[in-house]
């Protein structure tokens, strides 16, 4: 059986303050969709980023923590590491990869046979789950 790749596409925006050349803190929101699973992730998050500089080599680390307000609300955690390409004095293009954990809720039901020809389905509970997926981000900062 051939396994198909599951991926999300979307966008996010983050706004905040570059505290000094090394630290950024802000908040943001986004919207991501997986066509194969037909579901959404809608994060609202706070973000911290550390920009390192070793000569012309400029890696960064990014951490987003918040809530996935889609699918019954759940936690949203997304750490990323990457590289910043300078695009002039005050602009840059960031390429990063990481792991995203998006929480969601789902209703669970049980079925019982009530007669030889009947089947009854009853609500049992709502359960919380976490869906992990890899992230690849492209961003512009200015």
Q: Are 53 and 21 in contact (CB under 8 A)?
A: yes
CA 101 to chain centre: 6
pLDDT in tens, the chain (142 residues): 455 556 788 889 999 998 998 999 999 999 988 877 778 899 999 999 999 988 888 899 999 999 999 888 899 999 999 999 888 777 888 999 999 999 888 888 888 888 788 888 888 888 888 888 888 988 888 7
Handedness of CA 4, 6, 9, 15 (dihedral sign): negative
Q: Would the pTM of this model clear 0.85, i.e. be above it?
A: no
Residue 49: Cβ within 10 Å count: 24
- Report d(CA 46, CA 32) in Å as an integer: 17
Residue of 52, 48, 46, 50 whose CA lies nearest to 76:
46
């Amino acid at each position: 059986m051939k396994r198909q790749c599951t991926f999300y596409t979307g966008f996010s925006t983050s706004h905040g303050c570059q505290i000094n050349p090394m630290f950024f803190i802000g908040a943001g929101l986004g919207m991501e969709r997986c066509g194969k699973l037909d579901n959404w992730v809608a994060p609202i998050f706070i973000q911290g980023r550390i920009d390192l500089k070793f000569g012309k080599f400029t890696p960064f680390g990014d951490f987003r923590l918040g809530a996935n307000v889609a699918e019954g609300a759940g936690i949203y955690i997304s750490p990323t590491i990457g590289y910043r390409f300078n695009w002039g004095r005050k602009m840059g293009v960031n390429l990063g990869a990481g792991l995203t954990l998006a929480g969601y809720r789902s209703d669970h039901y049980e079925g019982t046979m009530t007669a030889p020809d009947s089947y009854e389905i009853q609500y049992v509970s709502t359960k919380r789950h976490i869906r992990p997926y890899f992230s690849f981000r492209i961003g512009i900062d200015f």
